[in-house]
Amino acid sequence: MNESGSKKVTVPVSEELRQQLGRVAVLFGGDSAEREVSLQSGTAVLNALLAANVDAVGIDTGKDALKYLQKVDVDRAFIMLHGAGGENGSMQALLTYLDIPYTGSGVGASALAMDKLRSKQLWLGMNLPTAKFAVLSDKSDWQQLISDLNGGAMVKPAHEGSSLGMSRAGSAEELKAAYEKARQYDSSVIAEALIRGPEYTVSILNDQVLPPIRLEANNVFYDYEAKYISNETRYHCPCGLSAEKEAQLKQLALDAYNSLGCEGWGRVDVMADEAGNFFVLEVNTVPGMTSHSLVPMAAKAAGLSFEELVVTILLSKFDKDR
């Protein structure tokens, strides 16, 4: 057993398991705003599967996933599509229609987790702590909103990942400008009250919580550059919390993940305020798997190599079906 609580996989996989798995299509690329990150993640996963003796093939789904899937005879899919088309339930629905088993969360959970507004509304109804927020529009009273949000806000497209379209605002003018930027990515835009404290990310693998990571970026916030480009972002694991506070963080992350019906694997982003109170930001159902990504870091801390992590994700639903 490893720290994740799951039986550690053996890689390379046996010839018998290779035959049982059949051909695995790694789906990456797509046409969302996160295409470049998806290409990096998908390539890393494909190489790991090949190194682990899995019969795998990469498919850049582009704008017509159905066309490419019908061209290749595959037995299951490893979804590495980020953003729209990969995390919002549409690819999961297509694979369900084609009767191709796939990694990660199902149609409903994927769609719900991708929608930051609906996720937050659900968490409020379940008394799970999440930052105070407001829905923005062209008719918003910017001065009143910035006041209601305690003088500072994070503005986000409701259906994007990788911090795309996000901005920090500290005045009515900045809030309006942040809204104008965010709506270039999505017609639905929200503003969260700014939380001035450390940010944590908690990875979940087969319903087990991996060691949390505390993020420390030189940028104004943990944005796209800090996530995928900068070599100056610092990742702290162990995260520096007391055993009691770390257990509280892990439980909150697992509760938020389970509340959306997620399965297989995922990552929950959380912030703490200056008093140490935790607030859920969002759940990612297809997290990044690049050289800068957080799930592989957490898995490594739990004793899993990258190849072992990838095969564990692939086997999560396969093991249930056997």
Q: Which domains does the chain have, with CATH numbers?
A: 113-127+196-300 (3.30.470.20), 133-193 (3.30.1490.20)
β-strand pairing of 265-272 with 213-216: unpaired
Per-residue pLDDT tens over the stretch 36-53? 989 999 999 999 999 999
Residue recorded with tokens 């270039």: 184
- Please name which of 240, 201, 246, 194 lies closest in space to residue 221, comparing C-alpha atoms: 194
- Please name which of 160, 210, 21 lies closest in space to residue 102, comparing C-alpha atoms: 21
211: left (phi over 0), alpha (psi -120 to 50) or beta: beta
Between the alpha carbon of residue 254 and those of residues 9, 156, 250, the distances in Å are: 23, 23, 6
Percent of the chain scoring above 90 in pLDDT: 73
Q: Which of 4, 6, 32, 34 is catalytic?
A: 34
Percent of the chain scoring above 70 in pLDDT: 91
284 is catalytic: yes
* Structure token pair of residue 6: 């799951």
Residue 279, pLDDT above cutoff 50: yes
Residue 238: is the preceding peptide bond cis (ω within 30°)? yes
For residue 89, what pLDDT is reported? Answer: 94
Between the alpha carbon of residue 290 and those of residues 58, 170, 191, the distances in Å are: 16, 32, 28
Mean pLDDT score of the chain: 89
Task: Report residue 227's pLDDT band, with 50, 70 and 90 as the boundaries.
Answer: very low
Predicted TM-score (pTM) of the model is 0.88
Q: Which of 267, 307, 308, 316 is catalytic?
A: 267
**Spatial distance between the Cα atoms of 166 and 266, rounded to a whole number of angstroms:** 21
In contact, 107 and 92? CB cutoff 8 Å: yes
Q: Which of 6, 284, 293, 316 is catalytic?
A: 284
179 is catalytic: no
Residue 221, pLDDT above cutoff 80: no
- Please name which of 168, 175, 174, 166 lies closest in space to residue 224, comparing C-alpha atoms: 166
Residue 195, pLDDT above cutoff 50: yes
Q: Which of 282, 293, 308, 316 is catalytic?
A: 282
Helices (H), 98-171: 107-114, 116-125, 142-148
Q: Which of 115, 269, 307, 308 is catalytic?
A: 269
Task: Report residue 231's pLDDT band, with 50, 70 and 90 as the boundaries.
Answer: low
For residue 34, what pLDDT is reported? Answer: 83
* Structure token pair of residue 97: 């229609």
For residue 320, what pLDDT is reported? Answer: 60
269 is catalytic: yes
118 is catalytic: no
Between the alpha carbon of residue 176 and those of residues 136, 193, 307, the distances in Å are: 9, 15, 45
Q: Which of 88, 288, 308, 316 is catalytic?
A: 288
150 is catalytic: no
Q: Which of 4, 32, 119, 162 is catalytic?
A: 162
Residue recorded with tokens 């505390």: 214
